[in-house]
Amino acid sequence: MKYVLMFIETEEFATEFAALGPAEKEEAYRRVYQWFDDHADKITNRGSKLQGRETATTVRLDSGQLTTDGPFIEGKEVVSGFTEIEVEDLDEALRMVKTWPACPVIEIRPVAEM
Amino acid sequence: MVRDHAGRLAGALVSLLGDFSAAEDLVQDAVEIALKRWPVEGIPERPDAWLFTVAKRRGLDVLRRQQNYRAKLALLQPSEPPPPDDRLRLIFTCCHPALAREAQVALTLRVVCGLTTAQIAAAFLASESAVAQRITRAKRKITDAGIPYRIPRDDELPERLSEVLTVIYLLFNEGYLSSTAERAHSRDLVDDAEWLTALLHGLLPSEPEVAGLLALIRLHRARTAARFTPAGDLVLLEDQDRTAWDHAAIADATALLTRTARRYHAPGPYQLQAAIAACHSEAPTWPDTDWPQILVLYDMLLTLQPTPVAGLHRSIALSYVRGPAAALAELDGMAAGLQQYSLFHATRAQLLRDLGRAAEAHEADERAAELTANPAQLGLLNERLAR
């Protein structure tokens, strides 16, 4: 089954990460790359890391194409990246995310078959 | 009777059809028909075969109407229910951590115990449509989110088993606390919880915590006859007629607990709670209770499971070992996490009364009464308030 992993940042995590020194940041990225390498056989689309929520723009087509600054939901937790995987079932996806070395929340969503 | 066969049939059909939701629907239909016909026609000689035949017939009806299921038609051809017991996989699927707790409970009762939606609704004082919706949503999630029908891998088993035990414990608690004279005729969830734990113990005989939960439930059930007055009022452990306890059941449960402790040396929260219950059950009278031993067990429990509720119970034991003043000091130190908990205030009231602080005790009892909806507990508190 295909799933999209949505990586979610909390305010706390973002603040802590911003406070890291260059060497610590590099080490954090290295661990993330390592995770992607370790699970390369299950990752069908590495997806992307997204820029911060302050860069988001939301367009509401149902409200007269209203364009607004900011993410569509204001909250303390925001999606900061995504990756598509193909695994046997939810248990395998759960095993995989348990070793994720970065942001503290992950949403696992099955991909709809069209 | 239905319970002994429904889960087995569900397990077999899920394996056979590879479709959790469809299999579960068939079993539910068969159970509904059995509940209507068995009381009138008598229980068939082979209830398992009877249920399988009814489920099969229902399945064929459904499949005939749905062309895309035609491939599955062939799978229903065997005329005998397949022998292996698949209920373990069934339990782990129903209690999968990706399902909401309420859905795990409802699904386990319906799929593994073979309760009807109406019976579950009655047991939890919920509307039938709410329960039905909860089950439908959970079944859809199992299919759509890819929740597997499988026994977890060894490295995942402890975590997943603890999830299953939590569901059963919740069921037990719900049944135990809500069992009053008024609801004596409603579904006995305590009985379902014991049955499920015994089933699990049979399927996973070398899991010490399963044995621990089984002993815990049996020790509590052994006191049932003494827990209520004929008028339906709750009788506290202290005041119970200990000759009315089922001493044979207590001996069996205690033996199971001792055997488990000796064999595995792996005390977990359920074994410890059972050991505490065993201490109470083995005391010939209330003053004979081995409080120092109980206190040690609570200390062990708190190391494993530092919850406010365990702390509350420990402070009760402490009051018998070191006196009410020491216990009250401990209890007040934990107040923040327990404010909304009726038993916290009722316990404070008891300690304050022991210390001769009657006005404060009265206030605490009032607060305790505000926080419980359970008629038996309310009756007891109101009686104290009236004194």
**pLDDT higher than threshold 80 for residue B70:** no
Chain B CB contacts of A91 under 8 Å are 147-148, 150, 152-153, 156
Token pair recorded at residue B385 = 């308030």
Facing residue for B148 by CB, picked from A3, A89, A110 = A89
Chain B CB contacts of A95 under 8 Å are 156
pLDDT tens, position by position, B117-166 = 988 888 887 899 999 999 999 999 999 999 999 899 999 999 999 999 99
Asked if residue B299 is part of any domain, the answer here is: no
DSSP letters, B115-147, are: --HHHHHHHTT--HHHHHHHHHHHHHHHHHTT-
Mutate to test the interface with B, among A91, A92, A111 (most CBs of B within 10 A): A91
Segments forming the whole domain that contains residue B115: 87-178+186-204
pLDDT recorded at residue B181: 46
Mutate to test the interface with A, among B144, B149, B155, B160 (most CBs of A within 10 A): B144
- pTM recorded for the entire structure: 0.84
CATH number at residue A27: 3.30.70.1060
Angle at CA of residue B295, ends B290 and B297, nearest 5°: 100
Residues B229 and B316 in one domain: no
**pLDDT higher than threshold 90 for residue B23:** no
Q: Give the minimum alpha-carbon distance from B144 to chain A in angstroms, rounded to a whole number.
A: 7
Residues B98 and B39 in one domain: no
Asked if residue B13 is part of any domain, the answer here is: yes
Chain A CB contacts of B152 under 8 Å are 91
Asked if residue B95 is part of any domain, the answer here is: yes
Residues B76 and B100 in one domain: no
Residues B382 and B322 in one domain: yes
**pLDDT higher than threshold 60 for residue B358:** yes
Number of domains in chain A: 1
Residues B190 and B211 in one domain: no
Residues B104 and B194 in one domain: yes
Residues B213 and B193 in one domain: no
CA separation for the pair B216, A45 (Å, rounded)? 50
Q: Give the minimum alpha-carbon distance from A21 to chain B in angstroms, rounded to a whole number.
A: 36
pLDDT recorded at residue B84: 61
For range A31-59, the mean pLDDT: 93
Size of interface A-B (CB pairs under 8 A): 27
CA nearest to A112 within chain B: B144
Asked if residue B148 is part of any domain, the answer here is: yes
pLDDT recorded at residue B78: 58
Confidence category of residue B58, pLDDT binned at 50, 70, 90: confident
Lowest mean pLDDT among B107-116, B118-127, B236-245, B298-307: B118-127
Residues B212 and B148 in one domain: no
For range B248-266, the mean pLDDT: 96
pLDDT tens, position by position, B178-228 = 655 455 445 688 999 999 999 999 999 999 999 999 999 999 999 988 988
| Residue A8 φ/ψ, nearest 5 degrees | -125, 130
Segments forming the whole domain that contains residue A37: 2-110
Residues B137 and B211 in one domain: no
pLDDT recorded at residue B376: 76
Chain A CB contacts of B147 under 8 Å are 89-91
For range A85-109, the mean pLDDT: 96
For range A32-49, the mean pLDDT: 95
Of the residues B85, B116, B148, the one at which a domain ends:
B85
CA separation for the pair A56, A70 (Å, rounded)? 5
Q: Is B378 helix (H, G, I), strand (E, B) or coil?
A: helix
Asked whether the beta carbons of residue A90 and residue B150 sit closer than 8 angstroms, the reply is no
Asked if residue B298 is part of any domain, the answer here is: no
Asked whether the beta carbons of residue A88 and residue B156 sit closer than 8 angstroms, the reply is no
**pLDDT higher than threshold 80 for residue B57:** yes
ipTM of the complex: 0.85
Residues B122 and B199 in one domain: yes
A94 CB near a chain B CB, below 8 Å? yes
Average pLDDT over chain A, rounded to an integer? 92
CA nearest to B98 within chain A: A90
pLDDT tens, position by position, B27-52 = 898 999 998 999 888 888 888 888 88
Number of domains in chain B: 4
User: How many other CB atoms sit within 10 Å of the CB of residue B253?
Assistant: 25
Residues B125 and B150 in one domain: yes
pLDDT tens, position by position, B315-355 = 999 999 999 999 999 999 988 888 888 889 999 999 999 99
A91 CB near a chain B CB, below 8 Å? yes
